[in-house]
């Protein structure tokens, strides 16, 4: 049967494929296939997921268009280099994270010989260079551009710093025969206390698609996909932004096998905006690479403590060890209570790293209250996506339990929040669909929001 679109989501532990039809009229989510991701060849996992989809649907699928998102093999590895950490570096970092990057190295100021060695060892997929407000400091960004170009890494370099430097940066990369790898975009920090991250995010997606080589078999994926490929977290961010326009300020939690991502799309409240220490982006993403319910389960077990787990789940030491020894990517009935406890801990830890805080500052007039970080106090909706929070039996209870516990120092929602579950697990798919079919993508998202 011929349908409109297939969208593959290639994760570090699982690969899913979603089928959609009637995008120009009343869009329909037909079904989802799933398979474990094969580390040696991600294309094999995609083929298995497609077979699973066709088995569930009961017919062979032929799609007019195919799209994909990927976070396999560490996803989009990037390094970011700017001038002042709390200014241009922070802006560049927000641009990269919002695009779905996995940041491996962040530096401020002129790159040292040690920094350059670290970059070479890291071998990132993309490097983002920033530095200086427009018509401000020029020296650091030019120094760093020359140092990076001289490495001749033959990888994409995005320059998003002081626009005065753009012509000089082009000449520098030309001198080192690296001009083919250079991409220019508007300054991520054009004025003091002003972030301009969206142009850089767009170009990161373009560069990612052009140079996608993250995992064995990805070249095979590229041959199977005739539409766009972007990082999975970047696609989820697009979906969150689309939903915010329809519903209002929100944040989204995605607990995966390897990482936990938090996305917030919200304006500062008037109350917090008056005392906010530094600007935050309207749409913000944080990723916790140490929090995942499969690959990084041991980190979560250590955070909780085995004694506390045994007490909470009423298990003996032997029973807990047996579950851990036989721990699976897709949990069975015996494992589910432990996976739910790990998911709750990942949610709590990731959200408290993402959200802003009330801080105390001391000045000539004495002690004053201020705020730093992302203000979530006015948020009305919490959206749960990812394998854990869309499939675990007590997924909604996990979230409700956390929000029943108030912490006055955190800039968490002050009023009652509505918890929505991405029932069909299609946020990433809808995000990438929105690049071509925004109306259909929004309709599909709203249909998937259990609790709306």
* pLDDT per residue as tens digits for the range 13-24: 788 999 999 999
The encoded tokens of residue 154 equal: 């033959």
* pLDDT tens for each residue of 406-425: 888 999 998 889 999 999 99
Q: How far apart are CA 15 and CA 423, in angstroms?
A: 17
Domain 230-293+336-450 is found in CATH 3.30.420 = yes
Q: Which of 234, 279, 153, 266 is nearest to 427 (CA)?
A: 234
pLDDT value at residue 169: 97
Give residue 182's Cα distance to chain centre: 24
Please check the confidence at residue 360 and state whether its pLDDT lies above 90: no
pLDDT value at residue 387: 83
Q: Class assignment of domain 2-73+214-224?
A: alpha beta
Please check the confidence at residue 72 and state whether its pLDDT lies above 70: no
The encoded tokens of residue 215 equal: 């995992």
pLDDT value at residue 154: 93
Q: Which of 356, 370, 375 is nearest to 277 (CA)?
A: 370
For residue 84, which phi and psi values (nearest 5 degrees)?
-110, 130
Instruction: Put the strands of the sheet holding 250-255 in their side by side order.
Output: 283-288, 260-265, 250-255, 381-385, 418-422, 449-450
What residue ranges do the domains of the chain occupy?
A: 2-73+214-224, 76-210, 230-293+336-450
pLDDT value at residue 222: 67
pLDDT value at residue 215: 47
pLDDT value at residue 74: 60
Is residue 389 very low, low, confident or very high in pLDDT (cuts 50, 70, 90)? Answer: very high
Are domains 2-73+214-224 and 76-210 of this chain identical in fold?
Answer: no
* pLDDT tens for each residue of 6-45: 999 987 778 899 999 999 989 999 999 998 876 666 777 8
Please check the confidence at residue 445 and state whether its pLDDT lies above 90: yes
Helix H or strand E encompassing 343? helix 336-354
76-210: CATH, from 1.10.3720.10, 3.40.50.2300, 3.30.390.30, 3.40.50.300: 3.40.50.2300
Please check the confidence at residue 129 and state whether its pLDDT lies above 90: yes
Please check the confidence at residue 213 and state whether its pLDDT lies above 60: no
The encoded tokens of residue 200 equal: 């850089």
Question: Please, which residues have CB within 8 angstroms of residue 69's CB and are 6 or more apart in sequence?
Answer: 7, 8, 9, 10, 229, 230, 231, 232, 234, 235, 428, 429, 431, 432
Is residue 150 very low, low, confident or very high in pLDDT (cuts 50, 70, 90)? Answer: very high
DSSP secondary structure code for residue 282 in this structure: S
Output the CA angle 204-208-213, nearest 5 degrees. Answer: 155
pLDDT value at residue 366: 76
Which carries the bigger pLDDT value, residue 432 or residue 276?
432
Beta-bridge partners for 134: none
Please check the confidence at residue 251 and state whether its pLDDT lies above 90: yes
């Amino acid at each position: 049967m011929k349908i409109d679109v297939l969208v593959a989501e290639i994760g570090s532990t699982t690969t899913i494929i979603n089928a959609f039809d009637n995008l120009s009229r009343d869009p329909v989510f037909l079904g989802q296939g799933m398979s474990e991701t094969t580390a040696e060849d991600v294309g094999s996992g995609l083929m298995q997921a497609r077979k699973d989809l066709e088995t569930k649907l009961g017919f062979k699928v032929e799609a007019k268009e195919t799209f994909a998102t990927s976070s396999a093999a560490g996803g989009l590895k990037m390094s970011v280099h700017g001038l002042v950490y709390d200014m241009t570096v922070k802006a560049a970092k927000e641009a990269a994270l919002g695009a779905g990057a996995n940041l491996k190295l962040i530096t401020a100021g002129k790159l040292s010989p040690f920094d350059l060695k670290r970059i070479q060892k890291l071998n990132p997929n993309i490097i983002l260079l920033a530095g200086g407000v427009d018509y401000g400091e020029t020296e650091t960004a030019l120094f760093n551009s020359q140092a990076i170009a001289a490495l001749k890494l033959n990888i994409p370099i995005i320059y998003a710093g002081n626009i005065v430097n753009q012509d000089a940066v082009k000449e520098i990369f030309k001198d080192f025969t690296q001009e083919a790898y250079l991409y220019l975009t508007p300054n991520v920090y054009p004025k003091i206390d002003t972030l301009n991250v969206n142009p850089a995010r767009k170009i990161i997606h373009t560069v990612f698609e052009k140079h996608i080589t993250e995992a064995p078999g990805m070249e095979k994926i590229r041959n199977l996909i005739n539409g766009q490929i972007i990082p999975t977290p970047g696609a989820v961010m697009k979906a969150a932004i689309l939903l915010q326009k329809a519903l209002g300020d929100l944040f989204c939690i995605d607990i995966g096998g390897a990482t936990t991502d938090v996305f917030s799309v919200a304006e500062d409240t008037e109350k917090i905006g008056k005392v906010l220490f530094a600007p935050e982006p309207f749409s913000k993403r944080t990723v916790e690479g140490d929090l995942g319910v499969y690959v990084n389960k041991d980190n979560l077990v250590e955070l909780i403590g085995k004694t506390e787990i045994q007490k909470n789940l009423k298990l003996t030491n032997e029973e807990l060890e047996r579950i851990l020894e036989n721990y699976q990517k897709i949990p069975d009935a015996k494992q589910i209570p432990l996976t739910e406890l790990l998911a709750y801990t990942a949610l709590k830890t990731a959200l408290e790293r993402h959200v802003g805080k009330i801080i105390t500052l001391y000045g000539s007039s004495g002690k004053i209250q201020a705020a730093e970080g992302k203000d979530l106090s006015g948020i009305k909706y919490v959206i749960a996506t990812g394998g854990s929070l869309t499939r675990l039996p007590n997924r909604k209870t996990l979230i409700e339990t956390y929000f029943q516990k108030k912490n006055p120092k955190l800039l968490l929602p002050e009023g009652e929040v509505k918890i929505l579950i991405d029932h069909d697990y299609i946020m990433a798919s809808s995000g990438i669909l929105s690049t071509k079919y925004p109306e259909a993508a929004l309709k599909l998202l709203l249909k998937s929001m259990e609790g709306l």
